[in-house]
Amino acid sequence: MARELEVLAEGQGEYHRVDPDGFREWVRDHKQRAMVPKLMSAKEAVERFVQDGDYIVYECNYIQRGPAALIREIIRQGKKDLWVGAKFTWVDVALLVEAGCASKLDVGFFLFGPVVDRAVKEGRVKIYEYSNVVMTNRIKAGAMGLPFIPVRSFGGTDGFKYSGAKLIKDPYTGQPITIVPALNPDVALIHVHQADIYGNARVFGTGISDVESALASRKVIISTEEIVDTEEIRNNPGITAIPYYCVDAVVHLPFGAYPGEMAGRYASDVEHVVEVVGATMRGFVRQYLDKWVYSAQDHFEMLDKLVGWRKLQEMVQRATIKEGYLP
Amino acid sequence: MIQIHTAKGEKASYFNEREHQICLMARLIEDGKTYWVAGGGSPMASILLAKKLYAPNAVYVTEDGVLAPEPVLPFDPIMTMVSSRAGYRALQWGTMNSIGFHAQMGYMDYGILNTLQVDPYGNINSTLLGDYESGEFRRFGGPGGADSIASLCWRTILMTDHQKRKFVPRVDFISSPGFLDGSEGARERAGLPRGTGPYLVLTPWALFDYEDRYLRLIGISPFVTLEQVLAEMSFRPKMADQLLTLETPTEEELTLLRTEIDPRGQVTITGDIGRWIMRREDGSFGPADEVEAQGGDPNLPRSW
């Protein structure tokens, strides 16, 4: 006997399409089961796998192990209308908005400033409200192949009203419970310590939801500090964080998290971080992009021309903590 | 009844209001309990100080899944979470999902948060000041992990500044839930776990708990009057029958805070640290500029 589920309240926010069967079909039709080499340049990976209008996720950019070089490449290529899952993000949203790349934001946390403020007030950018944990829970649901996930947080907040959440009566306990839509992003950008050419990837240290994002996303671009042999992966399978068949592109990008830290390998460029935070807070993001992104053809030219060997060496030397960051 | 650790040793003669607040918070940390702390800032400085002096077995976790770290101090600017220094020698490196689920299952006793605004029911605003619907507002980042901390930990503690614009009858936006409309069972009706909610609010001037889900003043600092405390609130809190006097920092607390926990002054010197407070000849405390104008006590050693 069918009974209708009781919806007690619902948010009015638009949310990314929920379609677990569509996602399964995407996996069936597009994800490579065979071990095929996926090594390519950042330029090629972004050209092939990031389309205008895509929903993208990443995390900790410009802080630690963020996919900073991939995001700069997206900005160089001038991608449009991206919907950004801004969980545990920082200055990158301002960079993407100033560059005209982003038009929708699901917000957990990001560094607000005049650039995003103006874009929101002029209607160029729309914000939907969540929290960091609700966003990672949504991605978890996407990574489980489910349409939604119940959460014990978020209920009663004003964010709820501007999100895709619903409050329902739990058919098992009879108590009210918040449910949020699963998130299957179009693109995940993930920077890792080590990967082989097929995309088997290792991540050392803490993170937010990179592994879930890799599983939940239609297209996955891995950038890696180091390419390792598959034999090396097979010698220690317990530390493979992301399996090859989720991955669409592997990009070898040493210092790919610059100016953020890569735990165990290099410390952050503190001056650069302070500069970009200042630019975000004061609204000088255009100047920042001109200086650090548009002036170089790619990541390597930026490292050569603007950062330099001396700075990189100094960052490497300051990364004195190694425990936990080596296989 | 709230347990406050007794600070031993000589009282400091010179300190600022932020330092005072952090030392007070450290004395409120319960040993052997779990804390989910907001990254960086006063909450983290407080638990680090507490672990050194009062609650060595208190455990803290951060949003990025770091469980019980022994961080390398000081942090680099901004790198108060997810960095190798912040996560050093943890018992486990998990993820935001793992910590969120641990809290959802009831493993987190306390959460400690900062806020832009708080109302009498302990609702927290960290999203914007102004009116969301009309678009007339000044926006801040968003709840980050605060919504989950305030929803899922058994007890939520807020640290904020003592200002009229922070203590408001209604927050402009509920980013993270307190007792919502203050009615009994409001949190449960919104799907939040039973038996959770706001516990304390600590400012540099005053300590509050909740009586029937409404903010109640229970203590004030010795360098402010009750009138000053109430004048800097946009609503009237309930009052405890007897107000505690909140003890000022000791030399030992300040030395640890200044030399080990925050030697660069990222929390206690830069930004909004409130006023400097100074001891008078008679042992009472007042704002340093007033005390100095009254002649001060030139024989006193300064802590800084």
- Does position B300 have pLDDT exceeding 60, yes or no? no
Element at A213 (helix H, strand E)? helix A210-216
- Is any Cβ of chain B less than 8 angstroms from the Cβ of A325? yes
Domain spanning B14-273: CATH 3.30.70.20: no
Q: In what order do the strands lie in the sheet with A166-169?
A: A7-10, A166-169, A176-181, A148-151
In a domain, A145, yes or no: yes
Q: What is the mean pLDDT of residues A55-74?
A: 94
Query: How confident is the model at residue A5, as a pLDDT?
Result: 82
- B76 → chain A, closest CA residue: A270
What ipTM was predicted for this assembly? 0.94
pLDDT tens, residue by residue, B58-67: 999 999 999 9
Amino acid at B250: T
- A152 → chain B, closest CA residue: B192
Q: What is the mean pLDDT of residues B171-179?
A: 96
Query: How confident is the model at residue B138, as a pLDDT?
Result: 87
- In this structure, what CATH number is given to the domain that contains residue A100? 3.40.1080.10
Q: Which of B181, B108, B183, B206 is nearest to B148 (CA)?
A: B108
**Of the partner residues B135, B174, B188, the one whose CB lies closest to the CB of residue A157:** B174
Query: SS3 for A127?
Result: strand
DSSP states of B219-285 as a string?
EE-TTS-HHHHHHT-SSPPEEEEEEEEPPPPBHHHHHHIIIII-TT-TTTTSS----EEEE-TTS-E
Query: How confident is the model at residue A127, as a pLDDT?
Result: 93
Helix-then-strand count for chain B, H and E: 8, 17
% of chain B at pLDDT higher than 70: 97
Q: Which residue range(s) make up the domain with A189?
A: 16-163+180-318
Compare B294 and B189 and report the one with higher pLDDT: B189
In a domain, A297, yes or no: yes
How far is B69 from B60, CA to CA, in rounded Å?
7
Report the 10 Å Cβ neighbour count for B149.
31
Residues in chain A with CB shorter than 8 Å from the CB of B85 are 321
How far is A214 from A205, CA to CA, in rounded Å?
17
In a domain, A326, yes or no: no
Average pLDDT, chain B: 93
Q: Which of A41, A88, A85 is nearest to A61 (CA)?
A: A88
- A207 → chain B, closest CA residue: B95
Q: In what order do the strands lie in the sheet with B276-279?
A: B14-16, B276-279, B285-287
Domain ranges of chain B: 14-273
Average pLDDT, chain A: 95
- Is any Cβ of chain B less than 8 angstroms from the Cβ of A137? yes
In a domain, A223, yes or no: yes
Task: Judge: B84–A88 Cβ closer than 8 Å, yes or no.
Answer: no
In this predicted structure, which of B160-174, B229-243, B281-295 has the lowest mean pLDDT? B281-295
Element at A289 (helix H, strand E)? helix A285-289
How far is B148 from B105, CA to CA, in rounded Å?
12
Residues in chain B with CB shorter than 8 Å from the CB of A178 are 190-191
- Is any Cβ of chain B less than 8 angstroms from the Cβ of A173? no
- Does position B100 have pLDDT exceeding 80, yes or no? yes
- Decide: A260 and A66 in contact? Cβ < 8 Å: yes
Size of interface A-B (CB pairs under 8 A): 193
Q: What is the mean pLDDT of residues B189-207?
A: 98
- Is any Cβ of chain B less than 8 angstroms from the Cβ of A217? no
- Does position B303 have pLDDT exceeding 70, yes or no? no
**Of the partner residues A134, A152, A264, the one whose CB lies closest to the CB of residue B191:** A152
Q: Residues 6 or more apart from B191 whose CB is under 8 A from it? A: A152, A154, A155, A156, A167, A175, A176, A177, A178
In a domain, A29, yes or no: yes
> Using CA of residue B251, residue B256, residue B262, residue B264, what is the dihedral sign?
positive
Q: What is the mean pLDDT of residues A310-314?
A: 97
Beta-bridge partner residues of A251: A223
Q: What is the mean pLDDT of residues B222-226?
A: 97
How far is B137 from B146, CA to CA, in rounded Å?
21
Tally of domains within chain A: 1
The most distant pair of C-alpha atoms in chain B lies apart, rounded to whole Å, by 60
How far is B178 from B268, CA to CA, in rounded Å?
28
pLDDT tens, residue by residue, B253-278: 999 999 999 998 889 888 789 999 99
- A110 → chain B, closest CA residue: B141
Q: Which of A245, A239, A238 is nearest to A214 (CA)?
A: A245
How far is A181 from A163, CA to CA, in rounded Å?
10
Query: How confident is the model at residue A2, as a pLDDT?
Result: 60
- The label of the residue with tokens 């255009």 reads A286
Query: Which of B75, B88, B92, B96 to probe by mutation at the A interface, max A CB count within 10 Å?
Result: B96
- Does position B304 have pLDDT exceeding 50, yes or no? no
pLDDT category of residue B299 using cuts at 50, 70 and 90: low
- Does position B301 have pLDDT exceeding 80, yes or no? no
Return the half-sphere exposure (C-beta side, CA atoms, 13 A cut-off) of residue A228.
20
- The label of the residue with tokens 């068949």 reads A245
In a domain, A327, yes or no: no
In a domain, A133, yes or no: yes
